[in-house]
Structure 1
Amino acid sequence: MIVVAGTGLVGTHAADQLRRRGHEVRSVSHNTVNEVDPAATEVVLLAHAGDHVRTARRFLEAGCHVVSVSDDTKDVLALLDLNGDALAAGRTLIVGAACSPGLSGLLISYLGAKFDQFDEAHVAVHGTGGPECARQHHAVLSGTALGWHEDDWLRRPAGSGRELCWFPEPIGSRDCYRADLADPLLVKHAFPHLARVSARTSATRRDRLTARLPMLTPPRAGGDMGALRVEVRGVRGGERAVEVAGTAHPMAQIAGSVAASAAHELRRQAHFNTPIAPGVLALGDAALPNNAILDDIMQTGIRIQAFYGVQ
Structure 2
Amino acid sequence: MWLHLDQAGGANCPDPVSTDMARIGILGVGAVGARLARQLVSTDDDDVVLRDERRNRVEMVAQSLGERASINRGALDDPLDVDVVVLSGPARTQTHLAERFVRQGIHVVSTSDDLTDVKALLALDSQARERQVHVVVGAGFAPGLTCVLAVHAAKKFELVDEVHIAKSGTGGPACARQHHRALGRGAIDWRDGEWDFRPGGSGRELCWFPDPIGPQDCYRAELPDALVLVPAFPGVRRVTSRVSATRRDRLTSRLPMLWPTDPEGGPGAVRVEVRGRSEGRGSVVVYGAMDRPAVAAGAVAAVASRFIVDGALNRVGAAGLAESVDSLAFLAELARRGVRAAVFEGESQA
- Name the TM-score class by shorter chain: over 0.9
CA distance in 2, matches of 1:35, 1:61: 11
Contact map agreement 1:5 1:33 (CA 8 A) in 2: no
Q: 1:114 to 1:2 in 2, by over 3 A?
A: same
Matches within 5 A, 1:92-171: 92-171=134-213
1:41 aligns with 2:41: no
Contact map agreement 2:208 2:216 (CA 8 A) in 1: yes
CA distance in 1, matches of 2:103, 2:90: 22
CA distance in 2, matches of 1:275, 1:128: 27
Contact map agreement 1:68 1:96 (CA 8 A) in 2: yes
Q: Give the equivalent residue in structure 1 for 2:34.
A: 12
1:278-306 Cα offsets, whole Å, 9 max, x none, are 21111111x43333222211111011110
CA distance in 2, matches of 1:171, 1:241: 25
Which residue of the other structure, out of 182, 206, 219, is the alignment partner of 1:177? 219
Q: Give the equivalent residue in structure 1 for 2:326.
A: 289
1:94-151 Cα offsets, whole Å, 9 max, x none, are 0000011111110011000011221210000000000000001110111101111101
The Cα of 1:187 is off from its aligned counterpart by: 1.0
CA distance in 1, matches of 2:106, 2:200: 36
CA distance in 2, matches of 1:284, 1:199: 15
1:195-219 Cα offsets, whole Å, 9 max, x none, are 1000000000000001111112122
Which of 216-225 and 140-149 deviates more? 216-225
Matches within 5 A, 1:1-311: 1-19=23-41, 20-29=43-52, 32=74, 34=76, 37-38=79-80, 40-50=81-91, 51-269=93-311, 276-285=314-323, 287-309=324-346
CA distance in 2, matches of 1:176, 1:252: 20
Any idea what SS the aligned residue of 1:224 has?
A: coil
The Cα of 1:34 is off from its aligned counterpart by: 3.2
Counterpart AA for 2:244 = S
Any idea what SS the aligned residue of 2:330 has?
A: helix
CA distance in 2, matches of 1:222, 1:170: 18
CA distance in 2, matches of 1:276, 1:22: 24
The Cα of 1:276 is off from its aligned counterpart by: 4.8
CA distance in 2, matches of 1:122, 1:197: 6
CA distance in 1, matches of 2:264, 2:313: 36
CA distance in 1, matches of 2:114, 2:96: 14
1:259-286 Cα offsets, whole Å, 9 max, x none, are 11101110112xxxx775321111111x
The Cα of 1:183 is off from its aligned counterpart by: 0.6
1:223-256 Cα offsets, whole Å, 9 max, x none, are 1111000000001232110000101111101111
CA distance in 2, matches of 1:193, 1:94: 23
Counterpart AA for 1:2 = I
Contact map agreement 1:92 1:276 (CA 8 A) in 2: no
Aligned-pair identity in percent equals: 43
Any idea what SS the aligned residue of 1:110 has?
A: helix
Any idea what SS the aligned residue of 1:306 has?
A: strand
CA distance in 2, matches of 1:73, 1:115: 29
TM-score of the aligned structures, taking structure 2 as reference length: 0.84
Counterpart AA for 1:18 = L
CA distance in 2, matches of 1:140, 1:98: 16
Any idea what SS the aligned residue of 1:284 has?
A: helix
Q: CA RMSD in A?
A: 1.5
Give the gaps of 5 or more residues in structure 2: 1-22, 55-73
Aligned residues: 304
Q: Give the equivalent residue in structure 1 for 2:58.
A: none
CA distance in 1, matches of 2:100, 2:29: 20
Any idea what SS the aligned residue of 1:256 has?
A: helix
Give the gaps of 5 or more residues in structure 1: none
Contact map agreement 1:190 1:283 (CA 8 A) in 2: no
1:3-42 Cα offsets, whole Å, 9 max, x none, are 111111100111111112121211221574536543x211
CA distance in 1, matches of 2:136, 2:293: 20
Any idea what SS the aligned residue of 2:315 has?
A: coil
